Amino acid sequence: MEMTPDAGERTMTTHAAGATRAQVAAVVGAPDFVLPWLDRFYDGDAVELLLAFATLSEIDDEPTALDDVDPARLERAVRRAVLDRDEAGAYAPASFRDRLEIWAMLEGWKDIPSALHRELADWEVGNYAESIREGLEALKDGRSADSDQAGYTYLLLAEGEDVIAAEEHVYLWPCDCRAIVGRCRKPANVCLRFENDRGLGWEISKERAVETLRAADRAGLTHTGHPRGSEPAPGAICNCCTDCCFPHLATERLGTSDVWPVRRHVAVIDEDACRPCGRCARRCPFAAITADSVGSPRLEPAACRGCGLCSTTCPTEAIAMRPLVAPA
């Protein structure tokens, strides 16, 4: 049975007594609609630390250190995205968006109504969309050089394996998109990152990373990121669905799905090699391939994103991924 906000208020710890949720929300930038449930995200210790920053900021600029606080307590707060710490060792409150990500991935949706879950997911997708809007509008207008999103693209399976081979460290993370949105049941522990934010990822071997990538491919997840040798350098390989993942949901919201994530390939079907089975049509997340009653495929090139899922599933290797040539 879902708890009511009144019941939630009774669970607030003594550390938070006398402090209003509005104060905490103001410090971390939490939306108003989450206020009755804010104690699910911040326990009493977190509230005490955040309110200390609120008090200090009223009398001075941003504080640069908390010398009188137990370092282990601060470290826990950083790992849980309650606080951020810069390279100089100075602490500041982490944003509610960062806290939501860590909370959803690693702590779980504790006593949160399903309606609030949906509202939070929609709020976060909206924030993400706004953060990339300018770059995507530049792409839509044909101004790739002006876009900070021009390098984010669909990766073929082999390209993803090449990216992994070139990295020194690989860390396995839960997919933050599926953790927050939660509309599908596809594999969640498939995000391959090359830096270990807050020290929370599991470092894995390159061999296991490749196995994870291939398993994601078999599960019907597209691979997105920056190719090997690109600028900026690859920071992660995301294994995405169209139901949950922020890039797909945001680009649909902004009306830019025809240009982003960037397409660099298009599927080509060898009709002579094809033995109609319909697998490619069932695998395509974008309905670029349809099949008739006997499984013969029909490709609509304009709808193809170049993700390669059809190619990796074809039992007769009848589908190749042809590189798209950028206009001169």
pLDDT at residue 20, as a whole number: 74
Gyration radius of the chain's alpha carbons: 23
DSSP state string for 41-97 = T--HHHHHHHHHHHHHHHHSSS----TTS-HHHHHHHHHTTSEEE-TTS-EEEPPHH
- For range 110-120, the mean pLDDT: 92
pLDDT at residue 237, as a whole number: 98
Reported confidence tier of residue 54, pLDDT bands at 50, 70, 90: confident
CA 135/CA 138 separation, integer angstroms: 5
CA 225/CA 196 separation, integer angstroms: 17
- CB of 227 closer than 8 Å to CB of 160: no
Q: For the CA atoms of 63, 68, 70, 74, what is the dihedral angle to 10 degrees?
A: 0
Share of the chain above pLDDT 70, in %: 89
The residues that bridge with 173 in the sheet, in sequence order, are 191
The predicted-structure confidence for 302-324, as pLDDT tens digits, reads as follows 999 999 999 999 999 999 999 99
- For range 51-75, the mean pLDDT: 71
The predicted-structure confidence for 187-219, as pLDDT tens digits, reads as follows 999 999 999 999 999 999 999 999 999 999 999
Share of the chain above pLDDT 90, in %: 81
CA nearest to 264, candidates 312, 233, 227, 213:
227
Least confident of 48-52, 109-113, 219-223: 109-113
pLDDT at residue 61, as a whole number: 53
Q: How many CB atoms are located within 10 Å of the residue 42 CB?
A: 25
CATH of 265-323, picked from 3.40.640.10, 3.40.50.11440, 3.40.50.620, 3.30.70.20, is: 3.30.70.20
The residues that bridge with 224 in the sheet, in sequence order, are 154, 238
pLDDT at residue 327, as a whole number: 45
pLDDT at residue 68, as a whole number: 80
- For range 99-111, the mean pLDDT: 92
Reported confidence tier of residue 108, pLDDT bands at 50, 70, 90: confident
- For range 6-25, the mean pLDDT: 58
- For range 91-103, the mean pLDDT: 96
Q: Are strands 222-225 and 170-173 parallel, antiparallel or unpaired?
A: unpaired
pLDDT at residue 56, as a whole number: 59
Phi, psi values for residue 171, rounded to 5°: -120, 130
Q: Is the peptide bond before 71 cis (omega within 30 degrees of 0)?
A: no
The predicted-structure confidence for 221-270, as pLDDT tens digits, reads as follows 999 999 999 988 999 999 999 999 999 999 999 999 999 999 999 999 99
Asked whether the predicted pLDDT for residue 126 surpasses 50, the reply is: yes
Asked whether the predicted pLDDT for residue 23 surpasses 80, the reply is: yes
Structural element, H or E, at residue 247: helix 246-254
Least confident of 31-35, 50-54, 237-241, 243-247: 50-54
CA 142/CA 165 separation, integer angstroms: 33
The predicted-structure confidence for 144-190, as pLDDT tens digits, reads as follows 999 999 999 999 999 999 999 999 999 999 999 999 999 999 999 99
Where are the domains positioned within the chain?
A: 5-112, 115-254, 265-323
pLDDT at residue 65, as a whole number: 55
CA 97/CA 105 separation, integer angstroms: 12
Asked whether the predicted pLDDT for residue 59 surpasses 90, the reply is: no
CA nearest to 120, candidates 41, 176, 181:
181
Reported confidence tier of residue 64, pLDDT bands at 50, 70, 90: very low
CA 202/CA 56 separation, integer angstroms: 36
Provide the mean pLDDT of the chain: 90
- For range 51-77, the mean pLDDT: 72
The residues that bridge with 91 in the sheet, in sequence order, are 85
CA nearest to 150, candidates 136, 170, 131:
136
CA nearest to 40, candidates 25, 26, 18:
25
> Which residue, chain included where needed, has tokens 């991924």?
321
Asked whether the predicted pLDDT for residue 48 surpasses 80, the reply is: yes
- CB of 182 closer than 8 Å to CB of 244: yes
> Which residue, chain included where needed, has tokens 């398993």?
215
pLDDT at residue 14, as a whole number: 42
CA 251/CA 269 separation, integer angstroms: 27
Q: Is the peptide bond before 232 cis (omega within 30 degrees of 0)?
A: yes
Asked whether the predicted pLDDT for residue 8 surpasses 50, the reply is: no
